Amino acid sequence: MQPFPGGPGRVAFVLKGYPRLSETFIAQEIAALERRGLEILIVSLRHPTDRATHPVQQLIHAALLYLPEYLYQEPHRVWRGWRRSRRLPGYGAARSAWLADLWRDPTPNRIRRFGQAMVLVAELPADVNHLHAHFLHTPASVARYAAMTVGLRWTVSAHAKDIWTLPAWEKRKKLAEASWVVTCTEAGRSHLANLASRPDAVTLCYHGLDLERFPPPPIRSKGADGSDLEHPVIIVSVGRLVAKKGYDDLLDALALLPSRLEWRFIHVGGGVLSTALTNRARRLGLSHRIEWRGALAQPDVLAAYRQADLFVLASKVAKDGDRDGLPNVLLEAQSQRLACVATDVSGIPELVEQGVTGLLVPPDDPVGLAQAMSALIRDPSRRAVLGAAGERRVHRNFAMKSGIDVLAVRFGLLPANGRPLSLRDASRSLRDTHRLGVDAVL
């Protein structure tokens, strides 16, 4: 697909919630695109629930529009939105599309998304000429219905849960109607391209890291080896306490570590399984070795990486099909020269190369996870080698600029150097990143 002619104008980014601690990658993307000259309106389907914010969110200048989170809470606003929207030429097509979706998905959520879309249509500033949804499920539904009503183009960034839990029929519809789609792993791109009527409309676009926001990594040539009670090996994991993150498996693996090894585990993040997992840790006799820090802002997360000796993430496929894409926390940990143990799920092997930039184990395998952790706990020299290789790979292949270049072309902007860049060239740089072999990286 070609970028839109005449430049992007103002773009409304439709998000499920804003700001959110777990979606730093969206905030850094918005900030970077604003620096490139894109005018953005942030449209959020939910009000924030996190008490803290990341520093990058303070750099964003976009105006913010909150839609009614639940329609019954703002009935007059919903009524006004519907009254205005129904007069527009595209309302009939949008209503027909929504009713067809509702027939296949007769849920309150589906009704809510149409109501939110009607409010968005009524309250959308006149200078917005493009809707861009982050996530292919509910934000894309709101963007789709609103765009059909008002006659605007719409596009979408697909990520993880939205790719793997959305029904195939809905993915096919949205892929056929969106002007273009980007997604953040090759695993996700391949899956969506196989469903799309226009496979070339789905482009790989790694989030990458804005490495300017990260301090130089600490020197890790020496470290604890698990033999000294006064200097235990510090294991850290950052992630929401939800099923797909595999923290039940990680706790089971920690319980399998040899009793003579000295270690401490730090977890950063909140989530619905917090109570269940703290109770599991207690039953396993691990509570005295674990520190649950909860959700933290970026500076405190970075401090945890720098304090640690080893990073572990035990992602897996949840029962409902939900799974990670390529968790940014792995990129962040490796940027701090921190050796990583992870599972070979979804896009994770696109970053972590077995035995080169980290260790990979199968998901749902506490025994294998314990063995990998045990080996690295005992071997600080190997941790240093893996951590250094991981840092080099992140800097060479997962800096944020390449992904922002792809988006800049899609939105009709110039890249950072001001020279025109074709979509083919921008996409090729990301494909080359994915295809690079171990020799090229090291």
| Residue range 158-176: mean pLDDT, rounded | 96
Mean pLDDT over each residue of the chain, to the nearest integer: 90
In this model, does residue 162 exceed pLDDT 60? yes
CA dihedral 164, 169, 170, 174 (to 10 degrees): 110
Spatial distance between the Cα atoms of 136 and 140, rounded to a whole number of angstroms: 5
pTM score, two decimals? 0.86
> What are the CA-CA distances from residue 271 to residues 31, 35, 139, 244, 405 (Å)?
26, 33, 21, 12, 33
Cβ-contact 161, 168 below 8 angstroms: no
| Residue range 245-262: mean pLDDT, rounded | 97
**Other C-beta atoms lying within 10 Å of the C-beta of residue 127:** 9
In this model, does residue 8 exceed pLDDT 80? no
pLDDT digits (tens, 9 = 90+) for 389-441: 999 999 999 999 999 999 999 999 865 555 544 445 444 444 444 443 333 32
pLDDT digits (tens, 9 = 90+) for 127-146: 999 999 999 999 999 999 99
- pLDDT given for residue 372 in this prediction: 98
Q: Which helix (H) or strand (E) holds 234?
A: strand 233-238
Spatial distance between the Cα atoms of 430 and 111, rounded to a whole number of angstroms: 38
In this model, does residue 100 exceed pLDDT 90? yes
Phi–psi pair at 64, nearest 5 degrees: -130, 130
> What are the CA-CA distances from residue 125 to residues 62, 63, 179, 357, 433 (Å)?
13, 11, 21, 47, 39
| Residue range 113-128: mean pLDDT, rounded | 97
Cβ-contact 67, 112 below 8 angstroms: no
CA dihedral 209, 211, 212, 213 (to 10 degrees): 70
Rg (CA), the chain: 23
| Residue range 184-211: mean pLDDT, rounded | 93
| Residue range 357-361: mean pLDDT, rounded | 97
Q: Which helix (H) or strand (E) holds 343?
A: strand 340-343
Percent of the chain with pLDDT over 90: 81
pLDDT digits (tens, 9 = 90+) for 56-96: 888 899 999 999 999 999 999 999 999 999 999 999 999 99
What's CA 202's distance to the chain center, in Å?
17
Cβ-contact 17, 5 below 8 angstroms: no
Is 390 in a helix, a strand, or coil? helix
Q: What domains lie within the chain, and their CATH numbers? A: 10-208 (3.40.50.2000), 212-395 (3.40.50.2000)
Spatial distance between the Cα atoms of 243 and 320, rounded to a whole number of angstroms: 10
Spatial distance between the Cα atoms of 187 and 315, rounded to a whole number of angstroms: 15
Spatial distance between the Cα atoms of 12 and 64, rounded to a whole number of angstroms: 10
* Nearest partner of 136 among 99, 165, 104, judged by Cα: 165
- pLDDT given for residue 221 in this prediction: 66
CA dihedral 208, 214, 219, 220 (to 10 degrees): -50
